[in-house]
Amino acid sequence: MTIDERKNNNISQNNNVIQNLILENREKLSISGALDVLSFDDQIVILETELGLLTVKGENLRINKLSLDTGEVIVDGEISSLGYSEKDFEKKNSGGILGKIFR
């Protein structure tokens, strides 16, 4: 099933998208509703989610679990910030990975 099919399936089943972010002691972040991992290294993880792009910043970050079939991602490390950007903004201003990081 492609990402577009999953998006359309989720929208048609329920107009209300539910996404959970659970941050434990700023060291373990559990995310549901992830569609794709766009970029990651030890200081930043950029995820496409059902509610927009999610940027996770910190130190020594690593993806501990990744299951795009169920939309689950677990990020471990020293997490310092989480930020969303709108999906529509991304489509209009796709300036590459540097544009995503420095918004």
Cα gap 27→58, rounded to integer Å: 10
Answer yes or no: are the C-beta atoms of 9 and 48 closer than 8 Å.
no
pLDDT tens for 60-80 read 999 999 998 999 999 999 999
> Which CATH class, in words, describes the domain spanning 3-101?
mainly beta
Query: Structural domain boundaries of the chain?
Result: 3-101
**Residues of the chain under the 70 pLDDT cut:** 1-15, 87-103
Amino acid in position 69 = D
User: Residues of the chain with pLDDT > 70: what percent?
Assistant: 69
Cα gap 21→31, rounded to integer Å: 5
The model's pTM is 0.69
pLDDT of residue 3: 52
pLDDT of residue 101: 64
